[in-house]
Amino acid sequence: MNTGVSTIHWHILGAGSLGCLWAARLAQVKQSVHLILRSAVRLQAFPGQVQLTTQHTCQSLALTAELADTSQTPITHLIVACKAYDALTAIDSIAPRLAENACIILLQNGLGSQQAIIQRYSKQRIIAASTTDGAYLTAPFQVTWAGQGLTQLGDLNHLGQAAPHWLELWQVAGIHNQWNPQIWHALWLKLAVNCAINPLTVLHQCRNGELRQQASQVNALIPELTLLLKQAEVPLQPNQLHQLIWQVIEQTANNTSSMLQDVQQQRPTEAEFITGFACHYARSQQLTVPHLNALHHALIEQLTY
């Protein structure tokens, strides 16, 4: 299909679940895709392709991989697919290669990493991509696309620009997307939902739907999260956050939250960028959020990673 977009050289920082998912889908539409891996050991293990499994298909897509400093090619379009706690350091590792007008797309959950990145990389156009796509690795470089979602994108700096021309190409690549000039609002709303669900699933070791049995704990967080969102100037209808949180719990009832998955697989969590960020923001704005503070402390006590 002719999208009217010439081939773009996409560099993808991080070849985990989302990095491989994005790499495979862009490679499917004949884009030039380069994975940037963390170590020589990972590069040696790269088989020259990424395998993408969906409900109906399994396809291997050839693409290239490199280390941050093994190539000098300038980077014009960078997708950052690391966890929130690795994102800034990962971008720093390729900083000398970044074109001055490069576009950096951030896939991280939570808040905090985005602010640090826009502060350090003020010349580049930084776009957040908040996605409800779900993916997991079954083996290195073999990704299963668990659920087609929606990816909302919008500028985090240099506000007010037109949507990038490559969004149409992403659509063709199966990356169902929507441009959202108010992406900060979307990130805040997702943060609030993650604060209400993820930590409690860790503390109760339960799937999202089982939080129905912990409704009073979920509900106690909602007025505090509403306070934070209002302070951040996120427009909210009365009761909107309550409805959204319970809707997500119902729609994802069978899911194990990403935070509980990290705990189960003994990986670090993104807690500091979810409840950690919420508590830090509340303190900086002198907002009283006792339930959120208690939740964050209980979570940190429980986490050994």
Ligand X SMILES: NC(=O)C1=CN([C@@H]2O[C@H](COP(=O)(O)OP(=O)(O)OC[C@H]3O[C@@H](n4cnc5c(N)ncnc54)[C@H](OP(=O)(O)O)[C@@H]3O)[C@@H](O)[C@H]2O)C=CC1
The residue with tokens 């912990």 is: 214
Q: Which of 30, 83, 123, 190 is catalytic?
A: 190
Angle at 8 (CA atoms; ends 114, 77), nearest 5 degrees: 20
- In the complex, the smallest distance separating the C-beta of residue 290 from ligand X, rounded to whole angstroms, is 27
- Which one of the spans 39-47, 118-126, 191-199, 295-303 is the region binding ligand KPL (CB under 6 A)? 191-199
- In the complex, the smallest distance separating the C-beta of residue 73 from ligand KPL, rounded to whole angstroms, is 34
Residues 29-48, one symbol each (x = binds ligand X by CB under 6 A, - = not), give -------xxx---x------
* Binding residues for ligand X restricted to 97-136, rule: CB under 6 A: 107-109, 131, 133-135
* Binding residues for ligand KPL restricted to 200-229, rule: CB under 6 A: 208
- Which one of the spans 156-164, 237-245, 255-263, 285-293 is the region binding ligand KPL (CB under 6 A)? 255-263
Give which of ligand X, ligand KPL, none residue 270 binds (C-beta under 5 to 8 Å, depending on kind): ligand X
CA distance 156 to 137: 29
190 catalytic? Reply is yes
Give which of ligand KPL, ligand X, none residue 31 binds (C-beta under 5 to 8 Å, depending on kind): none
Strand partners, 134: 147
Q: Which two tokens stand for residue 133?
A: 């796509």
When the beta carbons of 38 and 242 are compared against ligand X, the nearer one is 38
Q: Of 144, 258, 269, 275, which one interacts with ligand KPL (CB under 6 A)?
A: 258
Q: Of 193, 195, 221, 229, which one interacts with ligand KPL (CB under 6 A)?
A: 193
Backbone φ and ψ for 43, nearest 5 degrees, come out as: -65, -40
- In the complex, the smallest distance separating the C-beta of residue 184 from ligand KPL, rounded to whole angstroms, is 18
**Which residues are within 8 A (CB) of 252 and not within 5 positions of it... i.e. 6 or more apart?**
197, 208, 209
- In the complex, the smallest distance separating the C-beta of residue 85 from ligand KPL, rounded to whole angstroms, is 15
Give which of ligand KPL, ligand X, none residue 252 binds (C-beta under 5 to 8 Å, depending on kind): ligand KPL
Q: Binding to ligand KPL by residue 299, rule CB under 6 A?
A: no
Q: Which two tokens stand for residue 2?
A: 């002719």
Instruction: Write down the H helix ranges in the chain.
Output: 17-28, 40-45, 84-94, 113-120, 167-172, 183-203, 215-231, 240-251, 258-264, 275-284, 290-302
Distances (CA, A) of 197 to 93, 138, 173: 33, 25, 31
Give which of ligand KPL, ligand X, none residue 90 binds (C-beta under 5 to 8 Å, depending on kind): ligand X
Nearest of 281, 276, 277, 282 to residue 298 by alpha carbon:
276
Distance of CA 170 to the CA centre of its chain: 17
- In the complex, the smallest distance separating the C-beta of residue 173 from ligand KPL, rounded to whole angstroms, is 22
The answer to whether 59 and 25 have CB atoms below 8 angstroms apart is no
* Binding residues for ligand X restricted to 139-158, rule: CB under 6 A: none
> Which long-range contacts link 249-254 to residues 24+ away (Cβ below 8 Å)?
249/197, 249/208, 249/209, 249/211, 249/212, 249/218, 250/209, 252/197, 252/208, 252/209, 253/207, 253/208, 253/209, 254/207, 254/208, 254/209
Q: Binding to ligand KPL by residue 51, rule CB under 6 A?
A: no
DSSP-based three-state secondary structure for 17: helix
- Residues designated catalytic: 190
Question: Which chain residues interact with ligand KPL by CB under 6 A?
Answer: 109, 193-194, 197-198, 208, 248, 252, 255, 257-258
Question: Which chain residues interact with ligand X by CB under 6 A?
Answer: 13-19, 36-38, 42, 81-84, 86, 89-90, 93, 107-109, 131, 133-135, 258, 270
